[in-house]
Amino acid sequence: MRQIVLDTETTGLEHADGHRIIEIGCLEINDRRITDRHYHVYLNPDREVESGALQVHGITDEFLADKPRFADIVDELIEFVQDSELIIHNAPFDVGFLDAELARLQRPEPIRMADVASVLDTVVLARELHPGQRVSLDALCKRYEVDNSGRDLHGALLDAELLAEVYLAMTGGQVDLGLELHAPASGRGRTGGAPRVSTDELIVVRADAEERAAHRARLEAIKAAAGRCLWLETESG
């Protein structure tokens, strides 16, 4: 199953007020493995970045002045995410901005993100798994022990990278920490993989009945929250 973790940065909080996307970061998960395929672009929004947004992501008007516009990159973005499942933290925000950008193109056949890919909102998933708990990306990184020490400012590609690791941990899958993006925008990527050890050094400890029951309950909870659980599907197959 091909999934795309997507994040954006914007000039402000509300696209209805004319705010625009200034950064898009996407990376691919294929069969629950983070691949080296990613898409990343900065955009000229043709308007100023609000001071509040600038404090969040640090992306200045001067930096964006020579960057392409959304209309220049929309086809390659659509090609990258086409027919995937988009994994987005607080999806209504990012999808709302993307749909607003698509609407501005005034193409003969209007398109929305729902026409391109399905969407999974990890805020909704996190609230189902951890009711009453904080579900910000930073809080989830802490809960699932994902290293976000390099996140001094928000960045679309960095945040997509962190969310990919959180999502895989949150849905019970293995996070492959050994892969690096070819050209991370900030130079701040995942931590290195665990050291390799010989299988001769491993001690196998079998789960008892109580542990197996707890494991089964955890898988059923994942299935209930996410709609599927690959481990259960493998067992039934």
112 touches 30 (CB < 8 A): no
pLDDT at position 208: 74
User: In this predicted model, what pLDDT tens digit does every residue of 113-166 receive, in sequence order?
Assistant: 999 999 999 999 999 999 999 999 999 999 999 999 888 779 999 999 999 999
| Structure tokens that stand for 19 in this block | 């705010």
User: In this predicted model, what pLDDT tens digit does every residue of 38-87 receive, in sequence order?
Assistant: 999 999 999 999 999 999 999 999 999 999 999 999 999 999 999 999 99
Q: pLDDT band for position 183 (50/70/90)?
A: very low
User: In this predicted model, what pLDDT tens digit does every residue of 189-231 receive, in sequence order?
Assistant: 443 333 444 445 555 567 777 777 777 777 777 766 666 666 6
* Stretch(es) of the chain classified as CATH 3.30.420.10: 2-170
Instruction: Point out which residues pair with 9 in neighbouring strands.
Output: 23
pLDDT at position 179: 42
CA distance 156 to 14: 17
Q: Exactly one of 15, 40, 154, 215 is catalytic; which is it?
A: 154
CA distance 83 to 237: 25
Identify the DSSP state of 80: H
The owner of tokens 């909704």 is 124
| Structure tokens that stand for 36 in this block | 């080296």
Low-confidence winner among 106-110, 150-154, 180-184, 207-211 (lowest mean pLDDT): 180-184
User: In this predicted model, what pLDDT tens digit does every residue of 22-42 receive, in sequence order?
Assistant: 999 999 999 999 999 999 999
Which class would CATH give 2-170? alpha beta
Q: Is 154 a catalytic residue?
A: yes
pLDDT at position 118: 97
pLDDT at position 231: 67
Rg (CA), the chain: 19
Average of pLDDT values for 78-107? Answer: 97
